[in-house]
Amino acid sequence: MRRFHTGTDLSRVHSIAELADMAQRRLPYFAWEYLNGGAEAELTLQDNLEAFRGYGLHARAMVPCHAPDTSRLVMGQVLPLPMLIGPTGYNGLLHRDADIHLARAATARGLPFTLSTASNTSLEKLVAAAPGVDLWFQLYAMRDPQVQKDLLQRASAVGCRTLVLTCDAMVLGNREWDRRSFARPRQLSWRNKFDVVRHPRWLKQTLWPSGMPGMGNLEPYLPASERNALGSMAFIGKQMDTLLDWDTLARLREHWSGRLLLKGVLHPADVERAIALGLDGVVVSNHGGRQLDGALSSLDALAAIAPQAQGKLSLLLDGGIRRGSDIVKALALGVDAVMLGRSTLYGVAVAGEPGVTRALDLLSEELVRTMNLMGCTHLNHLDRDSLFPRRRVPR
């Protein structure tokens, strides 16, 4: 009878799916739903995964299995692996100081870590707790120009040189199952309150002894009574600049002296606009299937976007990465690197920094094994000829 490991020994965890299973058992339902759910009927959430299954891998024979070269040049920086940890918010619901655990694990592997505007750890605290971190900062455009200016100054002051502007969340997606965890705004249903009590390990690793996590980056701008995860949701809802447009992005390009990427791009025409504005890169992303349900999967969008971007700006992708072979497929279709979201969040929910490290190691080991089995000795040798279409199984 097949079943995943049900103990605590991370060395016996052999896939991201197994880490996800462990995370689901450790988290109360409302926290798991926030982590793993998507918008509405979750069509795009599932398409992100199915798109990778739609490609097979060509294998070449008689190639010696030396250790392949997994390094990748991304915006002038050589990474040991073609991946980095992308921005995710409210991670303190999964584990105390989750952002710090994620940053430390990434730093130990020589990979960048992207801190969200909606993080539970401030820029300043993260840099102090994770020395040497290659910090990227994700920005939500704010209505209040002073708040946005201050966030950018703080990011620059702690040494951040890469800014990632998210453009696909100006209006919050309809995450129905997430909303059903609450009887009213900011108030868990009684069923979910009882479920929380049934998870003492989560209570200890997340809420004890300080209660609900604060909101790090946003705390200076929140009323004292609203300095918590739920209060910050209302703040972001009011502060999100729903009028964000290309002129706003052009002004940001003028004022931010570091590298600037636009995250949430799914159409080739938007890549053309990003190139014209002198952006350093774009992230092909549908926000993990949490925003517009029915939007293209990230991988399907990439097929049309890659030719527009080649040689003009850096191209990254997130959404649906669960295997090292997924990374191979994304690189073969034209990305420079992938941003990890849920894969590393499962790890931090299970065991903090060691859990994130296990997730990164699993993906790294699978990446190397896939390249060996394909007869591929360097990531730069991957292209569309490395893939072939497989028939997708209908839902």
Confidence of residue 234 (pLDDT cuts 50, 70, 90): confident
pLDDT given for residue 207 in this prediction: 86
Q: Considering the entire predicted model, what is its pTM?
A: 0.95
Q: What is the mean pLDDT of residues 264-282?
A: 97
Check 95, 287, 378, 381 and give the catalytic one.
Answer: 287
pLDDT value of residue 392:
60
Q: Which position has the higher pLDDT, 13 or 183?
A: 13
CA torsion, points 204, 209, 215, 217, in degrees to nearest 10?
A: -110
User: In which band, very low, low, confident or very high, does the pLDDT at 192 lie, cut at 50, 70 and 90?
Assistant: very high
What pLDDT is recorded for position 238?
A: 81
In the prediction, which pLDDT does 239 show? 82
Confidence of residue 260 (pLDDT cuts 50, 70, 90): very high
- Quote the Cα angle for 83-88-93, to 5°: 130
pLDDT in tens, 56-94: 999 999 999 999 999 999 999 999 999 999 999 999 999
Confidence of residue 205 (pLDDT cuts 50, 70, 90): very high
For residue 287, indicate whether it is catalytic.
Answer: yes
* pLDDT band for position 365 (cuts 50, 70, 90): very high
Average pLDDT over residues 154-167: 97
Most confident of the ranges 190-204, 236-250, 379-393? 190-204
Is 356 strand, coil or helix? helix
In this structure, what are the phi and psi dihedrals at residue 52, rounded to the nearest 5 degrees? -70, -35
Q: Tell how far CA 146 is from the center of its chain.
A: 27
pLDDT in tens, 5-57: 999 999 999 999 999 999 999 999 999 999 999 999 999 999 999 999 999 99
Side-chain half-sphere exposure of 170, counting CA atoms within 13 A:
11
d(CA 142, CA 119): 15
SS3 for 216? helix
pLDDT at residue 373 in the model: 97
Question: Residue-wise over 190-218: b if at least 16 C-beta within 10 A, else e?
Answer: eebeebbeebeebeebbeeeeeebbbbbb
The CA radius of gyration of the chain, in Å to the nearest whole number, is 20
- pLDDT score of 187: 86
Q: What is the mean pLDDT of residues 137-165?
A: 96
Q: Which two tokens stand for residue 327?
A: 């990374």
Altogether, the residues listed in the chain come to a count of: 395
Q: What is the pLDDT of residue 109?
A: 98
Alpha-carbon span 129 to 132, nearest angstrom: 10
Give φ, ψ of 383 to 5 degrees: -155, -170
Share above pLDDT 70 across residues of the chain, in percent, rounded to a whole number: 97
Indicate whether 123 pLDDT > 80: yes
Q: Look at residue 1 in the predicted model and tell me its pLDDT.
A: 86
How much is the average pLDDT of 268-289? 97
Report all structural domains of the chain as residue ranges with CATH numbers, in order of start: 15-176+236-379 (3.20.20.70)
135 exposed, middle or buried (CB, 10 Å; 0-12, 13-18, 19+)? Answer: buried
Residue 129 pLDDT level (bands cut at 50, 70, 90): very high
Alpha-helical segments (H) within the chain: 16-26, 29-36, 43-53, 98-108, 123-129, 145-157, 176-179, 190-197, 200-202, 229-239, 246-255, 268-276, 298-309, 324-332, 342-351, 353-374
Q: Residue 341 — pLDDT band, cuts 50, 70, 90?
A: very high
Q: Is the pLDDT of residue 394 over 90?
A: no
Task: Write down the pLDDT at residue 313.
Answer: 96
Average pLDDT over residues 293-311: 95
